[in-house]
Structure 1
């Protein structure tokens, strides 16, 4: 199931199918989430207030990689 990603996902935790935390969504653009694997306290606060940002360590998650979107984003187990 492909989920639709919006700016509302900024700041959400991303986990794998086994619930291991992978990072937080730093930015959403064109149906892709940029996930920060090592967010600082400042980056958590910026995401919480809706300020988007990305840097060179972020990795890309596309909608077809997602199992579900709720309070957190869960990736599919077969990636």
Structure 2
């Protein structure tokens, strides 16, 4: 079970060798991912100014393989 916290905001979301997005917000343990973050999104997430918008999607816990200090790695067998 993965319990995301505010500390996970700004982390890269990676699948295989490819960065597929960035966590822009965490709300009630659910991480929301922007699949194509720009520099403004990265700064907002780093400064905890992120909001969820129409370009962010909830990250399903069942898709997460590991969480490190720098990234969230998705399962390869999806």
TM-score range, shorter chain: 0.7 to 0.9
Query: Could you tell me how far 1:60 is from its partner in structure 2?
Result: 1.6
Pick 1 or 2: higher relative contact order, CA cutoff 8 A, min separation 6: 1
SS of the residue corresponding to residue 24 of structure 1 reads strand
Aligned counterparts of 2:41 and 2:52: Cα–Cα separation in 1? 10
Are 1:39 and 2:40 matched, yes or no? no
Q: How many residue pairs get matched?
A: 77
TM value normalised by structure 2: 0.85
Q: Once superposed, what is the RMSD of the aligned Cα atoms?
A: 1.3
Structure 2 partner of 1:15: 14
Query: Could you tell me how far 1:12 is from its partner in structure 2?
Result: 0.5
Where does structure 1 differ by over 2 angstroms across 4 or more consecutive aligned residues?
A: none
Alignment gaps of 5+ in structure 1: none
SS of the residue corresponding to residue 77 of structure 1 reads coil
Structure 1 partner of 2:50: 52
Alignment gaps of 5+ in structure 2: none
User: C-alpha offsets along residues 38-58 of structure 1, whole Å, 9 cap, x if unaligned?
Assistant: 112111111111222111121
SS of the residue corresponding to residue 22 of structure 1 reads strand
